[in-house]
Amino acid sequence: MAFKHHKTTEILKWFEQISQFPRCSKNEGAVREWLIKQAQENHFEVKTDNVQNLLIKVPASQGYEQSPIVVLQGHLDMVCEKTPDSNHDFSTDPIKLIYEGDWITADKTTLGADNGIAIALAMTLAVDKELAHPPLELLFTVDEESGLIGASALAPGFFDGRILINLDSEEEGHLTVGCAGGLNTHLSVPIDWAEVPTHYQLMKVKAGGMKGGHSGVEIHAEKANAIKILAQTLHYLKKQVDIRLANLSGGNAHNAIPRDCEAWVFVPKNQIETVKTILLETETLLKSAYKNTDPDLFIKVEGCNETYNQAITLEHTGKVIDVLMVQPHGVAAMSTEIEGVVETSNNLANVSVKAGKLEVLTSQRSLLVSKLEALTHQIEAVARLVGGETHNETYYPPWQPNMESLLLAKSLQIYERLFDDQKPVVKVIHAGLECGVIGDKISGMDMIAIGPTLNSPHSPDEKIHIGSIGRVWDLLLELLKELK
């Protein structure tokens, strides 16, 4: 396949090879070992740390030996999401790439361009002996998608550079200089169980067909959250029918807006037709509400083979529904300092019933630590009101923008020169980036984030714009030439 930009084929060859390796968070070992082998074949120095972050040192090209070291940074893992009808096994199967015009997507799964394209760009640059660049450190972290775990474990001294170009931004023509911080909260709520009443039948109610997406990048888009949709459905149902929940399951990654959620519900046999009517009416109501964002939203009854000897009591069925109804989801506040940027949000990410308790995972983000804490306290208060417990984990700090950055000034200048005086957008994003963690741990960092255009990351609709890859390459190459 021929591409307009002369380097695109080479970059995508690397990306195709990377896509052969399963690399869900915490399962990056195979791709890391392959990269180590590639580095060793090119006689690059390689090292890993105690959590298996990878550093590849690339010597300076001739004439750049005394230039400051530049760190090119991305992460090894990817979010693993697939459509309900996909039989893809993320632990063993390669990602199947599909070329569609000027876009690449995957076959019913996430693509992994977030952040495989960063690895591809960095390795293409590293092995090309004809390119001019300063000493490079390719820093590939692990477990980014679980909450920037690898970056949080970096120790001072693992790398030497104080100029860092992060390749995890998702819109070409945008220079990212700041991001939100985040925190995950687990809620555990005790629930009472009882024998299933006689003359009740088990049904599975499913809410699905929703678009989902990245809970940082797309939280402002007002997409439907499947957990919220199902909770609202169960609320309508409980108002008219004596239902008893037996189980709940919905959502996957903490940073993905849930696309599917299902509940196993006991209902009186003589009200089954009433239940079906209520579900149909609810589906019509909610499809209308989300027709612009989630046109394929559905609510339906499915057959189920499971058997349950007990169900959640009537009172605590109501309690479970209320807990999910009252949990915040979506934008909590827009920034008053940066127009059009989300300041604070929450993603109601996952729900399940385990060991007889309701388990809920939420993921909060904010540009301001005080607002992040306030939203977290609100979620903790909900748990206390229903006799539950919470614990917080995977905190990462916000990345405060430095508008006086020399790296930013150089990037602006080069971009306008390369692309006919087009001015790039300088932005702060609501998603978390590892720059925030790295800058918080290591003083004196000058950082910027760039990358090709990605649509719908963290969902099976993820795709990358091929034409944008060459523009990012040109910017990166010129930037490295001038950091002398």
Chain-centroid distance of CA 381 in Å reads 26
Q: What is the distance between the alpha carbons of residues 365 and 432, in angstroms, rounded to a whole number? A: 8
CA distances (Å), 334 to each of 339, 342, 371, 397, 433, in order? Answer: 8, 4, 11, 18, 19
Bridge partner residues of 365 (DSSP): 182, 345
Q: What is the distance between the alpha carbons of residues 93 and 91, in angstroms, rounded to a whole number? A: 6
Per-residue tokens: 141: 């972290």
Which residues carry out catalysis? 77, 144
Please compute, for residue 322, the number of CA atoms within 13 A of its CA located in the half-sphere on the CB side.
Answer: 13
Contact 112, 23 (CB under 8 A): yes
Own/partner contacts of 405-411, CB < 8 Å, gap of 24 or more, are 405/177, 405/446, 405/447, 405/448, 406/446, 407/163, 407/165, 407/446, 407/447, 407/448, 407/483, 408/175, 408/177, 408/448, 410/479, 410/482, 410/483, 411/175, 411/448, 411/450, 411/475, 411/479
One-letter amino acid at 269 equals K
